[in-house]
Structure 1
Amino acid sequence: MPSKTSAKSAKAIKAAGKSAGASRKGGGGGGLGGKRQIPWLMIGAVVCVLALIGGIAWVLVPKIQDKQEQSKYTPSAQKKDPSDQISGVVKKEYPAGLHITGTQRVAYDQTPPFGGPHDGSWAACTGVVYPTAIRTENAVHSLEHGAIWITYNPDKVDKAGVDALAAKVKGKPYSLMSPYPGLDSPISLQSWGHQLKLNSADDKRVTQFITALRLNQYAYPEVGADCANPTFKTDNPPPFDASAPGPDAVPMDGTGATKAQNESPGATPGIPGMPAGGIPGLPGGIPSLPGETPGAPTDSGLPGGIPTIPAPTDGPTQPEQPAPTQ
């Protein structure tokens, strides 16, 4: 029969064995055989940084690409007409400064036209989106001033397409937009001597054309001419005439048009909106320019500059006062 001492020893050995087993299983927490804790805080921080970098790239990369694309189509002395890189652009040479009156028509060689004789008054092209079709002869004059004219067939372009085009025009200087009934393509873009016909308002060539040719000093005749025209009523413009020009229409060679002598390329732009016949209230006024349509604003320079305006002689004059004495 085992003694009490040996029984106690057996219990102590058994307890020591249990303690060692627990230690081997990692119950003590810090031994070499224990479980490693996952650094969730560090992982979360890395994920946040990566997400931030991805978000910045998502915003900046398209902008960088757009800037590179815009640079490709920006005119310069070395690249005077970047539209040569745009597929589908049609180019023609036209003489400038051939004016007709508000009752005449022009037998244009293109539809819509993008050069040739035109009305002496230009369509306001300060980023105006005309809801109705406007007189062609006025719009062509705007092209001569460096504007882009966007036209569309209202039967072929839906509201979303019209809105997309309008966003590229509204409030943008030297641009205008109007419907063009009967247009043989959904969309047509015009600058002086250039035209591009497209099927979709989402076509990237819309932006390319505008970048290459709007106010491109190498591609239009009247550099420096204004696009504002207070005499052209944007809320009630001269209407579009869909009928064929009659036999009395001015041909493309300008026969029957008036050559504006001061609208040749390089002429100094004049004062838009000035009435023909001079400014009322000034003795003699500022004389009218040859070739300008009466009542239409002038848009070119004065040969030799503005003449000196003499002082009024029809009113009482102040007598000369003697010098004060000391």
Structure 2
Amino acid sequence: MASGTKKQGASKRAVKSARGSVVSGKGTPWGTIIAVVAIVALAAAVVTYYLVQSAPKRALASWTPSAGNPDPSLQLPGIVTGNYKGSVHILPTERVAYDHYPPIGGPHDGYWATCTGTVYKTAVRNENMVHALEHGSVWIAYNPDQIKGDALTKLVAKVQGKPYSMISPYPGLDKPISLQSWGHQLKLDSADDQRIDEFITALRANNNTTPEIGASCDALGPGAFDPDNPPAFDPNPPGPDAKPMNYQGTQNAQQEGGAPATMPSK
């Protein structure tokens, strides 16, 4: 009996040993583990890249006009607004006594300033720039004595090549930067201020705030408005003959469709 028990025990040990040898022979599946880790790492990298790249757009989503929030710019600290009648035109030889500088609305020249992502190197006549605002553009004005180098490069990048946008120097500006759309203004100290992008998102071609949404921003050319040689900015205060903000328009001033106005001058 004892001999039989020993043989049985030896047999069981042999089976266990054989099983252990088989398991040991399989080894750790390092290739599979490495592949899984690599896939997980790649997925994490893709998600991280997406989150980083899309962060600016996601941050601006709340500044996009909607039916429930037609003018998100009203939430911007420092925003100034006003109500102005559209389609009131004056002659190229006339000036307007605007109530804001840079102006944000009111009577304006019959020829609009080109606003197709236009970068003006010199200051442009107020009355033409206001007409571009009426078409839905955002105008970035800057004090050329304060905004230069990298700061100017950042501002230009927000405009260049973008529809319904324009930028120009504005001598004597009381702040380094001033943003304008029709009936809206925001003055700022830094080109890094996040409110610049928020203002643009909220108001550029906003059909809730623009009197002539969808109107052209294209260049009119010599004899009307030439973006390569725009009407010069006049730094002097408007004289006694300047048109008031409640002006109703000048007879024979250029109109949107190319026909002169027929309303009497007031």
Name the residue aligned to 2:227. 234
Asked if structure 2 preserves the Cα contact closer than 8 Å seen for 1:99 and 1:291, the reply is no
Aligned-residue offset at 1:78: 1.9
- Aligned equivalents of 1:178, 1:119: Cα separation in 2: 18
CA contact (8 A) 1:97 1:117 kept: yes
Instruction: Determine the structure 2 residue equivalent to 1:282.
Output: none
Match of 1:128 among 118, 126, 129: 118
Residue 14 of structure 1 is matched in structure 2 by: none
The alignment's C-alpha RMSD in Å is 2.9
SS at match of 1:258: coil
Cα deviations across residues 9-28 of structure 1 (Å, max 9, x unaligned)?
A: xxxxxxxxxxxxxxxxxxxx
2-structure distance, mates of 1:85, 1:205: 10
Contact 1:134 1:178 in 2 (8 A): yes
**Identity percentage over the alignment?**
51
Paired residue total = 243
Amino acid at match of 1:162: L
Q: Does residue 258 in structure 1 map to residue 257 in structure 2?
A: no
Residue by residue, what CA displacement relative to the aligned partner does 1:34-88 show, whole Å, maximum 9, x if unpaired? 9x97765455434422431232122211344333333211112221111122222
Any stretches of 5+ residues in structure 1 without a counterpart?
Answer: 1-29, 264-269, 277-287, 293-326
Contact 1:97 1:260 in 2 (8 A): no
Query: How much does 1:163 deviate?
Result: 1.4
Q: Distance in 1 between matches of 2:114 and 2:263?
A: 21
| Deviation string, structure 1 residues 123-144 (Cα, Å, up to 9, x no partner) | 0111111111111111011111
TM-score (norm 1): 0.67
Structure of higher RCO (CA pairs closer than 8 Å, 6+ residues apart): 2
More deviation, 61-70/157-166: 61-70
1:128-207 aligned at under 5 Å gives the runs 128-207=118-197
1:80 counterpart SS class: coil
CA contact (8 A) 1:118 1:141 kept: yes
Which is higher, the Rg of structure 1 or of structure 2?
Answer: 1
Separation in structure 2 between the aligned mates of residue 132 and residue 47 of structure 1, nearest angstrom: 58
* Greater share of helix: 2
- Residue 199 of structure 2 is matched in structure 1 by 209
Separation in 1, partners of 2:252, 2:45:
57
Amino acid at match of 2:117: G
Residues 201/85 of structure 1: CA separation in 2 closer, same or farther (3 Å cut): same
